[in-house]
Structure 1
């Protein structure tokens, strides 16, 4: 399988697909491909089928009979039959799929698999029986069947215990969003500050560049105009995308509640109690909605690395955060003709505080996780990376730390590799350094972590004072990270 020349990144995902599809070992195998919508899963799988002359079928919403009929028509087209094949059941259809691999490896992709499961709930059990370890039809076949879907709650249940397909998949491939560096390259943005601003709006979802018809901001002075002519443009697919994503998830049966929960998180209510107050529900009533939104890929549950059982919730997709914080409160105005350009100036402060700042913190955590090494952290032996909170009893206040990096949990006393402060619009100085030093001292006093060699990371999109730069030059445990280093360095 040759990687298509028009495919951006996805080297790891393509290699996994190639290894699965071209496996010459006897016995049919099952693979599962998941990921949030608009990440390019279908593009990957269509390319794999083109490379291997495989069968690609995209399921549609429909009844059980209609869905089976459509698959029969696509199967007949693939094998060159003179007329559509009328399968009597999905058992017959799956046996026909296994039959394609009798002579050589045969790639078969069923995309939007959740639509078929909705129409034929017995299909996972049919596949479980068909891929039984000693079943002759499976052992005598080299079909490589790939099930793909964007409904993460449905796809997650396929392989969870005690689901029928638990233990049957030989490949479980997650297609993620592009990280902030790859997103900048994909959108063709040279300016680091502009790239970070754009990422706070559209994130790393590849399809959104097509939604914007390839329109990238042409410079920092064009950013406001770009927002108005793309995501705030009522005639652009980006305008209603966040609402469509919520409507397309089959398990979100109370869209009003789920939308309110997302809006609460986007505007700063990140604990369960704060979310409950914002939406007017008892705290106990939110366990299920939060779990469903996390399973569906809308929310991320981020544990406090310094305090047990104190998680916060973050929105996983920047465009959803942008919609709920910036657009939702004024959506009626934005739908009116000519109001986007008038409305945006009044929403810029909200964008900076509730979207851009939190997204910058997430970029900094991603940088620590993906792009740092021993030169920066003093080690490449990392475990969890996230945020943390330490209580300062003398000040009678909780000290929140934007970045916390721990060593691996290997049974020994765990190391505090680094703590960090991340500010988008603030020039960092000695007061920020002293705050991190104070946090490190407080963490050492608790006795839970080893702070030997802990690095103090200061992230700023604005800059650093001369005093702070001088302090960093004099000791290796102080690390200053600006936008250039975030995007270009380690």
Structure 2
């Protein structure tokens, strides 16, 4: 499959490469987000030393790196079988032959945390060499890893030897929905939205679906069968990153079932609030859970967390805990068809409603950045109080103007009653200057279309095809 998306990430990395001074760039993000493939794309037209670290001993790592260096022409190949230390090995980077095109050499350490695990002194060694020799060399060094909290705290944090040395830091996020949709070029807008609701923006998951098969066939073949990689993906990732996976399962399952406050999650899991809070913090570091506040919340309110709600930020985790985890017994016995027809197909559109709201918020960010909204948005999110909720809301820099929206992922056309209800809810936000957006899978009632087309209208209608229009 051709490489899809990541245009902005690649552009920024390429700009680092063309800088005059040496570069030490950190690229990190959760597993499966596409870091390695993006770096492979970056390296395509460059003389590159690409070292993929393994979970191995220091000696084994050094032996592998030494072989790579010698193949690249490092002078030590004539009298060494391998370098005796990382200090010696990294020093030799400056003695590699100049690239044949006269440009800069790219050096990539993929899964760098594995190297530090086998030799905790490595960050200090790299810091010392960077300060004295490497920062004067014709090199771009990329440190890549999936252990996000380790990279943020142990490599980039104030107590790390490498603190302040990075010339670039790129945290790679899941793809936006418009890039994810490119994996399924022949799908309808509805099916693209469903695929995104199920898989999210993780390239590795998107690659598993066959773009020539239907959503139904893909779910049954590539998620519900025991042999399918996505069937065991969630458990594999949790075991890789966390201990006490049974308790994390309980926390994630509670959120997937609709428990969003700390008290609700604690009650559902029968754990103490402090214990649940600790598990939630770890899940947020992994990019699986996010803490959400009303879009109008002030910084002080966010710091207290009095109105914060927890959501699963990963669509695939939400799908897996909604439809795979509860029906494991049937799936283990091979009843894929029964589970899909009884438990998934009848409620799939309802399940997709919340991811569809997230998709609409991404659309609003994109439109704001392109200057196609009434103002540049300072924040885009949800709004709620004790009584009401607004699916999508953008506020301007002064918080005295807002765009409020309602999202309907259903096949029936949206009618005037939806707009009237949205107006009533928006009046309670306290923001006087408002415009309205209605997002719909099933189109719009003719009277709404006429209203939106009228001059001076404060209503915009966005259909499913417009959401996926380039």
Q: TM-score, normalised by structure 1?
A: 0.86
Q: CA deviation at 1:306?
A: 3.2
Instruction: Report the counterpart of residue 223 of structure 1 in structure 2.
Output: 215
Matched, 1:257 2:281: no
1:116 aligns to what?
Answer: 115
CA displacement at 1:344 relative to structure 2: 0.7
Q: Note if contact 1:152-1:297 (Cα within 8 Å) is conserved in structure 2.
A: no
Q: Which whole-Å deviations, capped at 9, do the CAs of 1:92-120 have from their partners, x for residues lacking one?
A: 22222344488862211010111112212
Per the alignment, residue 105 of structure 2 pairs with: 106
Say which SS state the counterpart of residue 377 (structure 1) adopts. Answer: coil
Does 2:125 correspond to 1:126?
yes
Match of 2:393 in 1: 404
The residue aligned with 1:243 is: 235
Spell out, residue by residue over 1:189-244, the C-alpha distance to the aligned partner (whole angstroms, 9 max, x if none): 331011111111122222234434xx1254xxx32222111211222212211222
**Structure 2 unmatched ranges of 5 or more:** none
In 2, the alpha carbon distance for the partners of 1:376 and 1:148 equals: 36
| Residue matched to 1:394 | none
1:314 positional shift: 2.2
Q: Which runs of 5+ in 1 are unaligned?
A: 392-397
SS at match of 2:406: strand
Name the CA shift for 1:83/1:290 in 2 (closer, same or farther; >3 Å). Answer: farther
Say if 1:298 and 1:83 are closer, same or farther in 2 by CA, change over 3 A.
farther
> What SS class does the counterpart of residue 33 from structure 1 fall into?
strand
- 51-60 vs 112-121, greater mean Cα deviation: 112-121
Whole-angstrom distance in 1 between the partners of 2:450 and 2:112: 58
Deviation at 1:373, TM superposition (A): 6.8
> Helix, strand or coil: the match of 1:488?
coil
Moved more, 117-126 or 102-111: 102-111
Aligned pair partner of 2:69 in 70, 75, 78 = 75
- Once the two structures are TM-superposed, the CA of residue 372 in structure 1 deviates from its matched residue by 4.7
Task: Report the CA distance between 1:430 and its aligned residue.
Answer: 2.5
How far apart are 1:336 and its partner, in Å? 1.8
Report deviation, 1:376: 5.7
2:442 is equivalent to residue 443 of structure 1: no
Match of 1:432 in 2: 418
CA contact (8 A) 2:4 2:179 kept: no
Structure 1 residue 418 corresponds to structure 2 residue 427: no
My pick for the range that moved more, 6-15 or 56-65, is: 6-15
User: Are 2:382 and 2:391, in contact at CA under 8 Å, matched by a contact in 1?
Assistant: yes
Question: Which of 379, 386, 394 pairs up with 1:384?
Answer: 379
SS at match of 1:198: helix
Displacement of 1:88 in angstroms is: 2.3
- The number of aligned residues is 454
Deviation at 1:462, TM superposition (A): 2.3
Structure 1 residue 128, shift from structure 2 partner = 2.0
Match of 2:329 among 324, 332, 347: 332
Deviation per CA, 1:240-284: give whole Å up to 9, x if none: 1122222222xx222112222221222211222221122111222
Deviation at 1:70, TM superposition (A): 2.2
Instruction: Measure the CA separation in 2 of the matches of 1:11 and 1:320.
Output: 26
Match of 1:269 in 2: 259
**Is 1:376–1:479's contact at 8 Å kept on the other side of the alignment?**
no
Q: 1:477 to 1:78 in 2, by over 3 A?
A: same
Contact 2:107 2:139 in 1 (8 A): yes
Q: 1:375 to 1:469 in 2, by over 3 A?
A: farther
In the TM superposition, residue 77 of structure 1 has moved relative to its aligned partner by: 2.3
